[in-house]
A and B are shown apart, each in its own frame.
Chain A
Amino acid sequence: MAWFEKSAEAPARVPTEAIWVVCPGCKAYIAKEAWRAADKVCPRCNHHDRLACRERVALLTDAGSFKELNAEVSFNDPLKFTDSSGAYADKAKANIAKAGVGESVLTGTAAIDKIPVVLAVMDFKFLGGSLGSGTGERILLAAEKAIALKRPLIIVSASGGARMHEGIVSLMQMAKTCAAIARVKEAGLPYLSILTDPTTGGVSASYAMVGDLNISEPKALIGFAGRRVIEQTIKQKLPDDFQTAEYTLAHGFLDHIVPRKEMKAFLAKVLRYAGF
């Protein structure tokens, strides 16, 4: 055990949030500085924790190369949706402030090891990374930008699925984004999909699953239906490894599982094979 770790047992002193992070994977107390230095990957159990979209951009792109596109495209509230916890519009606005991004995906142009790309990165902190009309529009515009600039398109997904608050309009974003992806492919441009923890529901059943390459991180949750729904349907308990990246790869739906610190180099290598 390295100096920056403490045992999984309760530490002698009460840890403060300022110094320690509790790993969601193994519950060990990890020094915050070490946690950050490892890009939120647990040095003890290799748990790849969720990243904010800008953290992911910093990790994957050349310093200073990212330029955001379509920041003005944001959520819509076509149903004027309100549930028991309040109005969707209020929640969405609060999420913009909380996540520091105008929708559940951040899009822009960037360079990966000097290769110019168009990049879209989802943020699970924004309403669970749900696919709303603003998300769909940003992804479509990113795909169209990739075609216009003749650049590869890379989408990093992190989402629980379609955004219920936008009803049928959110469902249609699955068709809309896939139509845009089809055009990127018709233009002969690479489309790389990175499915991070979690990628489920309407996002796994649309753009996330149709990459030229589908790539993931260790132990990421990937699936269509939720575990609880499936367990209720089949009246059986599912094994722990069900719907992990490793399970998805073994069943033939992922090309590669790449540790976080190697992801940028992996993408650059693939793009060079693709002629960039």
Chain B
Amino acid sequence: MAKNTQEKLSPWDIVQIARHAERPNIADYLRLLCDDFVELHGDRLFGDDRGMIGGFATIGGEKVVLIGHRKGRGVEENIEANFGMASPEGYRKAMRLMRLAEKYSLPVVTFVDTPGAYPGSEAEARGQAEAIAHNLEFMSTLKTPIVVVVTGEGGSGGALGIAVGDRILMLQNAVYSVISPEGCASILWRDGTKAALAAETLKITADSLKGLGIIDEIVPEPAGGAHADVTAAVAAVKKAVLANLAVLKKIPLDKLVEQRYAKFSAMGRF
């Protein structure tokens, strides 16, 4: 039954689920997936981005460093979190915490859910491009396992800035794209109303990305989407994260980093 409903969803329908106001956000994951969470603040350079959260977490007895974009629930929270659009400080905080993970031999788990990195003048002035670029470079050589979970919107470079990892998981109704369907429609179709068509053409759903070899695993969602049964959705994510951590922890670190390089090197080689 659930499967049949799922098969009828268009990529544009899935975009709506991925952006649903009640979709589990980082606060839900911290509450329902973690036994413990110690938030760590600040990039030590400028500030503490509330659009990017991170800290020590315990998931099913496993100690990790957990980092994720933060979308709020309701206007007030969303304004504080800048609607999940991180600033350079967010990416730099993420990197600082990943360094700590490497030092303390803790795996890194990242939760990706952002419309994109914040396109503001202050973000430009403080080096949004440099902050993301530096993370891409740094994560490629980090000597600790990295599990990435695309939980909602994987919005372009702002998503990728915390999404270089050994295993890339994606929720069944999450999307991951180089540009928003609306942005693509207005540039390539010169018509913002063609977003549904752009969503289909861009191949941004978990199924398509699995087919393209970009993601490793699809995490199933309850019928109707993760928001329909948050507890069950989070439980599926927890199970998938723990299973992947168990596999990655057995791989010697040098080999792990070598495999990560091979994985990303092969992307776009056909």
Contact = CB atoms under 8 A, between A and B. Distances in A.
Interface of A: 76, 78-79, 81-85, 132-134, 136-137, 140, 162-176, 178-183, 185-186, 201-202, 204-210, 222-226, 229-230, 233-234, 236, 238, 242-243, 251-253
Given A179-B137, A186-B141, A164 B187 contact: yes
A174 B121 CA distance: 23
A236 B189 CA distance: 27
B128 A84 contact: no
In terms of DSSP, what is the predominant structure of the interface of chain B?
Answer: helix
B130 interface: yes
Contacts of A83: 188-189, 201
B192 to A, nearest CB: 12
A79 B156 contact: no
A225 B214 CA distance: 25
B129 to A, nearest CB: 4
Interface in B251-269: 260-261, 264-265, 267-269
B188 A85 contact: yes
Given A174-B160, A178-B133, A253-B127, A167 B269 contact: no
Interface in B167-205: 176-179, 184, 187-191, 194, 201-204
B178 A167 contact: yes
A221 to B, nearest CB: 12
In terms of DSSP, what is the predominant structure of the interface of chain A?
Answer: helix
B155 to A, nearest CB: 10
B117 interface: yes
Given A164-B188, A182-B140, A225-B128, A176 B119 contact: no
Contacts of B139: 175
Interface string B109-142: 0000000011111011111111011101111110
B33 to A, nearest CB: 26
B120 to A, nearest CB: 6
What are the 5 closest A-B residue pairs judged by CB atoms, nearest first?
Answer: A133-B268, A225-B119, A179-B140, A178-B136, A204-B129
Nearest to B140: A179
A169 B157 contact: no
A173 B136 contact: no
B120 A133 contact: no
Contacts of B202: 79, 164, 167-168
A176 B267 contact: yes
Nearest to A202: B157
Contact of B123 (A179, A224, A242): A224
B86 to A, nearest CB: 12
A224 B120 CA distance: 10
Given A174-B160, A175-B164, A167 B177 contact: yes
A165 B209 CA distance: 15
Nearest to B175: A168
A136 B269 CA distance: 9
Given A162-B178, A164-B179, A164-B187, A174 B268 contact: no
A175 B176 contact: no
